[in-house]
Structure 1
Amino acid sequence: MDIKTKIIDGAGELFTRYGVRSVSMDDIARQLSISKKTIYQYFKDKDEIVTKAVKARIEFEKEEYDEIFCSCHDAVEELSKVCKCMRKDFHEMNPSLLFDLQKYHPKAWRVWLDFKNKHMRDTVVTNLKRGIAEGYFRKEIDPEFMAILRVEQVQLAFDNQVFAADKFNLKETQMKLLDHYVHGIVTEKGRKLYMEYLEKEKTLNQTSNN
């Protein structure tokens, strides 16, 4: 791994865990055991690092979720695996992350919005159309409308004025919103299959932990 990628990855980990505003250039240098001078040889300022880190994270998530949608047998399995990925992704994510981007780093914020409003939304639409065709999702669903609702739910969980960080855990909030979404779109056949997939995952986790 080259030094530039190392800086982006290391900074990204700090931003995810502690939020963007609270992480300084000194913190990044300390985390990577390098000097600030070295960082400034590759990046003009923190804003550039934030933007690059967001882009890198989004590319990673695109690959992760695209792999799910290319390998699953049906739309319900796609949802169950997305649920698993979200639990992992939001486990240590700081609730202030998106707020910090929106308020202090407009370039990075635009990158996130583009990802949310295009790739995420298109992925949800594709999943919904597949599920309807397979009979697992309700046929009266409007895929475009529900896709907008779903991606806005993801962002809503980060809003401290709606889900205060001292009262709501980000990971748990995201999982509750996803659960509400899923049970609002599935047919009875889809609900049974979804619960079967979740039970299989639970059994696998218990086996691996023993």
Structure 2
Amino acid sequence: MQGNWNNGRAHYRCRFPNEYAVANKLDHPLTVYIREDAILDPLDTWLAESLSASSVEQSLMELDASRPVNDLQIETARRSLEECDRKLSRHRAALEAGADPALVAQWSREVQAERAVAEAHLAMIGSQQTAGGRMGREQIRDVVAALGGLLNVLRKAAPEDKAEVYRELGLTLTYDHETQKVLAEVQTAPTVCA
């Protein structure tokens, strides 16, 4: 849908049935208009309820679940470091038991190189999190409480600020012209930060 002004009000308009509806065998009216103000208030209310004090714990758990990539990468890097340390201990024990020093030295160099890669990867993940300014659960809870609730903030926000919030949340709206309802979905990226 495209933004459009109609009768002095912001609307969303869809009028391209020949480009996609007919090609995909969809029943689609010639033109669909939806007033922006009919969408924004219910949308902002839904978002505010999702992050209200009563449901903030559930929302925080959902936010944590939506960013498992770094946690998984951190855990993988730490396990790799632990495995490298175990290998180096075994190589030292083999050397002390009389294994060929040249062969043990070669094995140790390979493991030390592997360990250096894991350390660098772990450091990079840590610096990304620090640079990204990712907020912890307590910080998010405090910000929501301090702002007096998301609904008040969204209702008072400038349109471009609202658009940025919606974009950062990965908000998508799907309009069903038969039921005349809008389905709102939020799918945050793992990089959502402060």
Which structure has the larger Rg over C-alpha atoms? 2
Name the structure where strand makes up a greater proportion of residues.
2
Q: TM-score under structure 1 normalisation?
A: 0.23
Name the structure where helix makes up a greater proportion of residues.
1
Q: TM-score under structure 2 normalisation?
A: 0.24
